[in-house]
Structure 1
């Protein structure tokens, strides 16, 4: 399994063994700097590590936020989000399909 792609699908389905991006974490620009790791845990058309789903499990580890006496961070707009797939942060501009 290449990083960032699902290879699973119905055993005789048209997507079996095809590369499909399906699982993401979306974080704000402020949160992006707290990313420690992001991992995909399943692989292969045999669904090794998929745990009963056609989606590949992913995990995101973040560092703790520093204590601030300031006002809370404003909610991000859609133009200030980052799409994270494995260890590759991608700035989001309306779609997460491209790099």
Structure 2
């Protein structure tokens, strides 16, 4: 694994997200109201909805297609929904966001 910078904290609005294309697939990067940053795979396991277009509330995101809710901390579905998302380690240093990605895949880019 290696750390790859993807941008600044202010590039993502509070309670918002952006999608990052990586060799490991699309990753949704989310910023909470208290400026915590999380990253998960950007597709809902239910029907593949783009989670980066969902609603961020607390440390959760709601899928824009069918309202499934996922914890951004654990990746697990909340409530009666089932399933989980892969979480990606995030580091925030000096207002810059980095993701931990597989170095071999990133080098192939």
TM score, norm. by length of structure 1: 0.27
The structure number with the bigger radius of gyration is 1
